[in-house]
């Protein structure tokens, strides 16, 4: 069974102290993502081929977490002429460029999310049903920064992934 078939996502973007469900990727976010990707490819000596661009555009068109296999299947069904290997390699390049973020949901499955237009957030991941709940906690962010500073550590980025059982699964 495809992991995404059982995976559900609750995405939240925090604005001040208000929690708003969903996130919208604007044209300017998409342009910035493409520019970052093109800059990364150029810096590494790669071309921004129509296939790589098609992979990025497909990712930008979907606000949900995705796995590379499902992305490749979606593109194959649409007839984009993008090979499975190109999808996997492009997703890897997008991660290195900072346009996509990898989420290891267990030892055999990874999901990805586009970072364009989305503020930094963390994940609660249900081990049973695969539900991913995104959250943003400013107090946690401050604490993580304070820990890094107290240890004379120059933090570049961080991720917090909390694994357990969601409310529905823990009631079963």
Is the pTM value of this prediction over 0.85?
A: no
Give φ, ψ of 157 to 5 degrees: -165, 170
Give start-end residues of each CATH 1.10.10.10 domain in the chain.
24-117
Give start-end residues of each CATH 3.30.1490.190 domain in the chain.
8-23+119-172
Q: The domain at 24-117 falls in which architecture?
A: Orthogonal Bundle (1.10)
Cβ pair 104, 161 in contact under 8 A? yes
Structure tokens at 56: 């990025």
| CATH class of residue range 8-23+119-172 | alpha beta
pLDDT of residue 102: 92
pLDDT at 17 over 60: no
pLDDT at 27 over 80: no
Q: What is the pLDDT of residues 29-82, one digit of tens each?
A: 788 889 999 999 999 999 999 999 999 999 998 878 899 999 999 999 999 889
Q: How far, in whole angstroms, is CA 143 from its chain's centroid?
A: 23
Note the helical H segments in 22-83.
Answer: 27-44, 50-61, 68-78
pLDDT at 83 over 70: yes
Angstrom distance (rounded) from CA 48 to CA 39: 9
Question: What b/e readout covers 18-55, taking b as 16+ CB neighbours within 10 angstroms?
Answer: eeeeebebeeebbeebbebbbebbeeeeeebeebbebb
pLDDT of residue 61: 87
């Amino acid at each position: 069974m495809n992991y995404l078939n059982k995976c559900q996502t609750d995405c939240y973007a925090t604005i001040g102290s208000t929690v708003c469900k969903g996130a919208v990727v604007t044209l300017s976010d998409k342009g910035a993502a493409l520019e970052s990707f093109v800059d990364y490819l150029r810096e590494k000596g790669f071309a921004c081929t129509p296939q790589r661009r098609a992979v990025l555009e497909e990712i930008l068109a979907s606000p949900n977490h995705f796995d590379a296999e499902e992305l490749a299947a979606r593109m194959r069904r649409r007839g984009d002429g993008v090979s499975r290997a190109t999808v996997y390699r492009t997703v890897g390049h997008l991660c290195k460029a900072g346009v996509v973020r990898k989420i290891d949901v267990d030892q055999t499955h990874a999901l990805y999310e586009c970072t364009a237009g989305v503020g930094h957030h963390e994940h609660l991941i249900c081990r049973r049903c695969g539900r991913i709940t995104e959250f943003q906690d400013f107090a946690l962010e401050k604490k993580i920064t304070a820990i890094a500073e107290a240890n004379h550590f120059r933090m570049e980025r961080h991720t917090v992934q909390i694994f357990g059982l969601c409310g529905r699964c823990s009631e079963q």
